[in-house]
């Protein structure tokens, strides 16, 4: 993607036209930084776990997480916090307006055959009831 911005943008635009949503993973690290937002049609940002890990205990990480969420909201993008392992960062991200979360707090990685029974046991909230990082365990938040 970095070597051929035009081709990457055309490919991502084509995928988006098919209904595929595009997320920038590990936002703020490596090549997934501000430049990607200018060139690519993206729908959401995923805050790297290295920043989520320091949320509430490291002033710089907390400021970065807060800024990324505000930045994403200003651009009309959805934002996901990665690496949520306990209730503390879950609650902090929710209070900051983070849309989605992923991590061991919700579920550990599952084998292929275990996914459907897990989801059946943790029914989704109906679509007409938005949750914005609602209760852990809801299918919306993986």
pLDDT band at 35 (very low <50, low <70, confident <90, very high): low
**Residue 67: predicted pLDDT:** 92
How far from 93 is each of 13, 84, 114, CA to CA, in Å? Answer: 30, 9, 28
Q: pLDDT tens digits, residue range 64-82? A: 999 999 999 998 999 999 9
C-alpha span between 63 and 38 (Å, rounded): 23
Q: Which of 27-31, 39-43, 72-76 has the lowest mean pLDDT?
A: 27-31
| Reported confidence tier of residue 12, pLDDT bands at 50, 70, 90 | confident
Helix (H, G, I), strand (E, B) or coil at 78: strand
The pTM score is: 0.69
For position 88, what pLDDT does the model report? 93
Q: State pLDDT tens for residues 44-57.
A: 999 999 999 999 89
State residue 142's pLDDT score: 36
Can you give the pLDDT at residue 131?
Answer: 45
Higher pLDDT among residues 53 and 5, named by residue: 53
Is residue 131 within 8 Å of residue 140, measured between CB atoms? yes
C-alpha–C-alpha distance, residues 105 and 56, integer Å: 17
Q: Which domains are delineated in the chain? A: 5-106 (3.20.20.450)
> Would you please indicate which residues are annotated as catalytic (active-site) residues?
82
- Would you tell me how many other CB atoms lie within 10 Å of the CB of residue 82? 19
Residue 105 and residue 135 in contact, taking contact as beta carbons nearer than 8 Å: no
């Amino acid at each position: 993607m970095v070597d051929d911005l035009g081709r990457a943008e055309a490919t991502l635009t084509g995928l988006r036209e098919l209904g595929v949503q595009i997320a920038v993973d590990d936002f703020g690290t490596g090549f997934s930084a501000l430049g990607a937002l200018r060139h690519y049609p993206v729908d959401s940002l995923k805050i790297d776990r290295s920043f989520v890990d320091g949320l509430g205990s490291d002033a710089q990480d907390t400021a970065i997480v807060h800024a990324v969420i505000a930045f994403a909201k200003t651009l009309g993008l959805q934002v996901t916090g990665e690496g949520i392992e306990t209730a503390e960062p879950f609650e902090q991200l929710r209070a900051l307006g983070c849309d989605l979360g992923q991590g061991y707090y919700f579920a550990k990685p599952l084998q292929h055959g275990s996914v459907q029974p897990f989801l059946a046991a943790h029914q989704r909230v109906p679509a007409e009831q938005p949750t914005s990082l609602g209760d852990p365990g809801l299918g919306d938040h993986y």
